[in-house]
Amino acid sequence: MRRWQGTAELKLQVGADGNIKALTVSHSSGFGILDDQAMKMVKDSIPLPTLPDALRGREFALDIPVAFKLQE
């Protein structure tokens, strides 16, 4: 209805123990409500899936684009 769309870019930092250390919006979609929804989507995915062997015991960060696009 409001024609809101855009891509929120999130940064997810995972600690060596496999738990989320931080989750932030690194680039806004332009709409706070969409940014908040993107953060909620990632938080709702906790606990994270089992990490591959190559990442276990290591800290790492992921950039996660979450696109909100209207279908015509």
For the chain, which domains are there? 6-68 (3.30.1150.10)
Residue 1 has pLDDT above 80, yes or no: no
pLDDT of 10-68, one tens digit each? 999 999 988 899 999 999 999 999 999 999 999 998 888 888 898 889 999 999 999 99
The answer to whether residues 12 and 64 touch, using CB atoms and an 8 Å cutoff, is: yes
The 10 Å CB-count burial string (b at 16+, else e) for 9-43 is bbebebeeeeeeeebebeeebeeeebbeebbeebe
**Which residues face 63 on adjacent strands?**
11
